[in-house]
Amino acid sequence: MTNLLCEVAVIGAGLAGLASADYLKSHGYDVKVIEAESRVGGRVLTYHLPDNTHFELGPFSFGNGEQPLWDYVHRFALPIIKHTQIERIFWFKDWTGKISEKGPFLEGQEQEIPLYLLLNAFRKKLEEISEDMPLYDALRLVGASENAIEWLQANTLIGLLGNGFKTNSTHAVLTFLKQYDDSTSFYAIKGGNDQLPQAFANQLKENIIFNHRVQKIEQLKEKCILKGETFTIEAKRVIFAIPLSEMKKIEINPSLSLEKQSAIQNIAYTLCARISIIAPSAIFGVPPRAGVFLFSDSLGWFREQTLFQIDPYKKTVLNISVVGHQAEKLSLSESGWKKSVDEALSKLYPNWDPEKAEYHTHVWKEGYSYFSATMSELQNSLKKVEGRIHFAGEHTSDKFSSMNGALESGIRVAKEIQGYEEI
């Protein structure tokens, strides 16, 4: 391919790019999706083994109220699996494993609150704070102890956002939590979440160009010219649907506005590491169960569930998710994180034998965006159209850090373009 013409060029075949291309194509637009890699999905990545074993290296699950994600699940007739409820909570301080429904390390009235309700106990008070501030400061302001904050950071969904509560915007976290409540159930796509982007790809076979990296964009009065090593594409409009770190590598002439440049430079991403361990189910006890295990230096948890079982009486897949500064350590030393994981699992499972386990890991250097108290205003700047260039991606959505946010952003941008009388 050397020269190509289209109405809309979408850069990136992640969920945001696929959703925008799918919407525009269905409304009669001539769309091309330019993807630098050889696959679709972006950060939605499922690892498949020859024996049909699979595990997620990207997003694990999605809530029952997440739209438009569920619209696509139904449209593509994707099979789903429901997460089981938490059966036991393991807490451990300095890697000393105990089992408890309440936190013996908590203080005062906190000890009367079951651990799984601890976040809700502070949430209403946080919502009454008008001024935005780091989540750590807000929690201290409403009376949370240091140990309670440490536990929340290690053991709740919001602990996976950002690089710790001292960096996260309280308002951004509360906005994120509006997607979920006590009645929320979580699901995954049976056979792997990568089936969702693949379903899009099946609809866009003639529209996706793989293994082509855009290096330069020239924005003219009536069109944009995209250039790579071996190709040139002319398009009426362009959609950026890639992480901002990748966008920074593309030369854009004339330059974007100072407001946009500042937002792009200052948005923060969470380093995220995923570890999946395949081991004989007998090691985990009877009945064997798989689960999600989150941990920090001094405090962590293990949640038992049945979602990721392969053959419940032969093999179990254990999924571990580590973010922020802990993930930095995992990215530096494989022997170091294996030792930490083995020490923790040996306390939870007396029969744990690392020699019988198979380890797989993937480190996302920029896993997903988050907003600090000083950055929450950046999101509006990230969304703004710049001439003929539009911007999608989970970092532009209130539902940031999620598959649903990426999809929502793609539809938003497609409707933006649809709103122009002449594209």
The fold adopted by the segment(s) 3-43+193-266+375-418 is FAD/NAD(P)-binding domain (3.50.50)
pLDDT, one tens digit per residue, over 342-378 is 877 777 778 889 899 888 888 877 666 776 665 557 7
Q: Where along the chain do the CATH 3.50.50.60 domains lie?
A: 3-43+193-266+375-418
Band of pLDDT at residue 212, cut at 50, 70 and 90 = very high
pLDDT score of 41: 98
The region of weakest confidence among 133-147, 352-366, 377-391 is 352-366
What is the average pLDDT across 29-58?
91
pLDDT(166) > 90 = no
The region of weakest confidence among 39-53, 87-101, 104-118, 169-183 is 87-101
Higher pLDDT, 170 or 337: 170
pLDDT score of 303: 44
What is the average pLDDT across 71-86?
87
What is the average pLDDT across 87-116?
61
What is the average pLDDT across 218-231?
97
What is the average pLDDT across 189-211?
97
Rank 22-36, 273-287, 395-409 by mean pLDDT and report only the highest. 22-36
What is the average pLDDT across 383-400?
91
pLDDT score of 88: 47
pLDDT score of 367: 61
Higher pLDDT, 269 or 420: 420
**Spatial separation of the C-alpha atoms in residues 341 and 5, rounded to whole Å:** 52
pLDDT(61) > 90 = no
pLDDT(208) > 90 = yes
What is the average pLDDT across 189-215?
97
The region of weakest confidence among 34-43, 208-217, 296-305 is 296-305
pLDDT(385) > 90 = yes
What is the average pLDDT across 209-226?
98
pTM of the model: 0.87
pLDDT score of 330: 62
CATH match for 84-184+268-370 among 2.30.30, 3.30.70, 3.90.660, 3.40.50: 3.90.660
Mean of pLDDT over the chain: 82
Q: Where along the chain do the CATH 3.90.660 domains lie?
A: 84-184+268-370
